[in-house]
């Protein structure tokens, strides 16, 4: 039989896990933001290494967020990286063959990626789930 102390312990553990997931989420969002801003600012490329670190963090910790509003943020970040990567790969030949249209395409993709990261950060700050 559960007593009041057990209920309080479970709630405290849940609150602690929620805060831990939020911290992981902020670290991931900040890593994504560094890459997104660098992609928009000419000459400020930081490389895909930081983005891969953020992606691995999201993939590893996503299961811990299952059933919480934060799970949608992990999925949002993972989808953002995958879609941006696919779009960059699809437009790479355009970038290599026709420099200006390729640069425009990559700029649009980079702005879209930055928008998704900022939107996610704003909603996480408000403790709101991301739309599907």
Highest mean pLDDT among 17-26, 74-83, 99-108: 74-83
| pLDDT for residue 49 | 84
Closest CA to 23 of 86, 63, 85, 73: 73
31-85 pLDDT per residue, tens: 999 988 888 777 766 777 888 999 999 999 999 999 999 999 999 999 999 999 8
Question: Mean pLDDT throughout 12-35?
Answer: 86
Tokens of 55: 């992606």
H-state helical runs in 3-98:
4-40, 48-61, 71-97
CA 31 to chain centre: 8
pTM of the predicted protein model: 0.81
Query: Do residues 62 and 74 lie in contact, with contact meaning Cβ atoms separated by under 8 Å?
Result: yes
Residue 22 pLDDT greater than 50, yes or no: yes
Rounded Cα–Cα distance for residues 2 and 36 (Å): 48
């Amino acid at each position: 039989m559960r007593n009041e102390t057990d209920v309080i312990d479970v709630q405290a553990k849940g609150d602690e896990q929620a805060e831990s997931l939020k911290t992981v989420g902020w670290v991931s969002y900040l890593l994504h933001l560094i890459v997104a801003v660098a992609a928009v600012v000419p000459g400020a490329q930081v490389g895909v290494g930081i983005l891969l670190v953020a992606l691995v963090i999201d993939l590893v910790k996503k299961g811990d967020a299952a059933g919480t509003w934060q799970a949608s943020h992990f999925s949002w970040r993972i989808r953002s990286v995958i879609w941006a990567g696919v779009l960059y790969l699809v437009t790479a030949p355009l970038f290599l063959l026709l420099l200006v249209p390729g640069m425009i395409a990559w700029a649009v993709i980079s702005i879209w990626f930055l928008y998704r990261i900022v939107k996610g950060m704003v909603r996480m700050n408000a403790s709101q789930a991301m739309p599907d």
